[in-house]
Amino acid sequence: MSSHSAFAAASDALAARVLGALDGTGGAVQLARYVDDASDTLAALAAVRVLGADVLSPHLLLEHPFRTQDAAVVAKAFDAFPAADTPEEAVVVRRDHATAVLFARLSGEDTLRVAEPVPTDDAELTDPAGWSGWCVRMAQLAPLATLVLDGPVHDAARDGALRLCRGVSRSVLRRDHPTAVRLVRWLAWLHHEGVELPLDPGLAAEHVLLVGGAGPRTALDLAITRHLLERRPGMGAKAAHA
């Protein structure tokens, strides 16, 4: 098996493990055990990097304890696969910073080695001219659509609610189900923020669940979406900072 195939398989396996913790079909994620039991330790650590902030979702959404040994695995994954720091990889940098913020909140330690600083050029997040390309970028940044996090990407989502809805419709029509699922996750986050939407995020989530396939990464996005939709609207990050 090639390293790419091994990393992809490990990412799917970890996504299924996180999904089980979120939907109650499995126990706690136990990252340390996942890595210890893996036949390919490097692939297991790569999976932690690939899932990024989403690997912390059971601790954030369901308040599962974040054990010291699991925090050590996240730190080890960042050491094994150093953070990107090139402008061409701004999406990766933003995702890494999101993971670091949540890691610090859950562990009390600000120790992840991430690129500094977070990108300050927000033109790709705010330019309304190319809304379809903007939606692709927001889909890539879907791991940021979760509790606690707030920043330029989230401001762009608030300002671009209509564009996100258009992006969901376009992605469904093009049968680009992974993009549709990730954009619906943003709609669920906006719903939690109390933003009025022209598209019902609950109905959109039900639709993409039916047509979007059953891959573990897609299922994980949808599980996080459901948890966001189940929370009371208007109680998101913006309300917490008010």
Percent of the chain residues topping a pLDDT of 90? 74
Q: Worst-scoring range by mean pLDDT, 60-74, 131-145, 223-237?
A: 223-237
Reported as a single tens digit per residue, the pLDDT across 184-210 is 999 999 999 999 999 999 999 999 988
Neighbours of 202 (CB within 10 A): 16
Same domain, 58 and 143: no
163 and 216, same domain (yes or no):
yes
**Within a 10 A sphere around the Cβ of 129, how many other Cβ atoms?**
6
Query: Are residues 140 and 210 both part of a single domain?
Result: yes
- Say yes or no: 17 and 97 in one domain: yes
Lowest model confidence (mean pLDDT) among 111-115, 128-132, 182-186: 128-132
Residue 110 sits at φ, ψ, to 5 deg, of -100, 70
Q: In the predicted model, is pLDDT for residue 123 greater than 70?
A: no
Residues 117 and 135 in one domain: no
Q: Which residues contact 149 (CB under 8 A, 6 or more apart)?
A: 53, 98, 101, 102, 237
240 and 140 housed in the same domain: yes
What's the average model confidence in pLDDT over 160-164? 95
Distance of CA 67 to the CA centre of its chain: 21
Same domain, yes or no: 230 and 137: yes
Residues 11 and 95 in one domain: yes
* pLDDT in the model for residue 115: 80
Which of 121, 153, 168 is where one domain is finished?
121
Angle between helices 177-193 and 216-229 (to 10 degrees): 20
Over pLDDT 70: what percentage of the chain?
89
86 and 158 fall within a common domain: no
Of 88, 121, 154, the position where a domain reaches its end is 121
d(CA 61, CA 63): 6
Of 59, 89, 121, which closes a domain?
121
Predicted confidence at residue 114, as pLDDT, reads 86
* pLDDT grade for 12, boundaries at 50, 70 and 90: very high
Average pLDDT of the chain is: 90
How is residue 147 annotated by DSSP? S
Which tens digits make up the pLDDT trace of 40-51?
A: 999 999 999 999
* Same domain, residue pair 144 and 82: no
How many domains does the structure of the chain reveal?
2
Q: Which domain holds residue 214?
A: 129-242
pTM of the entire predicted model: 0.92
Under 8 Å CB-to-CB from 61, ≥6 apart: which residues? 22, 146, 147, 224, 227
| DSSP symbols for 104-145 | HHHHS-------SS-----HHHH--TTHHHHHHHHHHTGGG-
Residue 238 has pLDDT above 70, yes or no: no
Co-location of 14 and 105 in the same domain: yes
**What residue type is assigned to position 70 of the chain?**
D
Does residue 138 sit in the same domain as residue 73?
no
Choice between 242 and 201, residue whose per-residue pLDDT is larger: 201
